[in-house]
Amino acid sequence: MILMRGADAPSRAPRTLWTFNSKEDISQYTTGSDMDIGGNSTVNLDLDENPKHNAKIGRKATGVFWGEMRLDVRPGFEHKMRGGYAGFRNKNRPTVFGDLMDDASLHEYLALRLRLGGDPRTRNSYYVNIQVDSAFNTDLWQHRLYFRRQDSEWEDIFIPFKNFVRTDYGQMSEKQLKMVRERVKTIGISMLGGNSGVAGKYELGIDSIRLVNEEDVTHEPLIPTSESLEDLVCLICSN
């Protein structure tokens, strides 16, 4: 006798999308900064094997996103561009059937384990960016990163997907469409010093990016009651 069973119910269990614990992990990301188009900001995403940074979370290595945020531009680019951005995101994942996507539709929160360092002036200028596969390939959903800790220790940051803001070509879109969470293409983090006129050396440790639900959230997300349009401007290229 053959027993026919239905498909397993979709899982709401926490799911790790990306880790930053080996050279192989780090090779899955691409970086960019305003230096690519005439600016002077630098960007690096490296493997940090310093036990002082990693022992408390039981890791031998984690990622570190670092560089120097600069607002000036190279000669010939004055009045043509605004300096002050750097970022990274996962690389596209092509297959014979098209790019590989992640389905985040069964989870309510994006969770990031991060360690804040660098010049204190730069610490309020980090943003997390999500690109989905849609008819509008210039769309990027964005949310500012708010930290509780300022002591270079690790913390888990939880961001409700419903709070991400749709941007297009670096501007907040007038029409706020629902994010197609079934087809997440890339996730990344940017340092946007140009938004607030902030320059200096930045450093952000990163261990993992996960999908979780409310029952997995260990503390209330830090979400301001309002954000200015300027704070929500996205300067990092989405392609």
24 Cβ partners below 8 Å, 6+ apart? Answer: none
Total-model pTM: 0.88
Q: Which residues pair with 203 in a beta bridge?
A: 66, 117
> DSSP letters of 55-88?
GGGT-S-EEEEEEEE---B-TT-TTT-----EEE
pLDDT tens per residue across span 157-205 = 999 999 999 987 666 777 778 899 999 999 999 999 987 899 999 999 9
Looking at beta carbons, which pairs linking 222-230 to residues 24 or more positions away fall under 8 Å?
222/146, 222/147, 222/148, 222/157, 223/146, 223/160, 223/163, 224/146, 227/144, 229/172, 230/195, 230/196
- The burial class, CB within 10 Å (0-12 / 13-18 / 19+), for 178 is exposed
> Going by DSSP bridges, is the β-strand pair 126-132/154-160 parallel, antiparallel, or unpaired?
unpaired
Does 230 score more than 70 pLDDT?
no
Highest mean pLDDT among 5-9, 85-89, 219-223: 85-89
Q: Give the single-character DSSP code of 219.
A: S
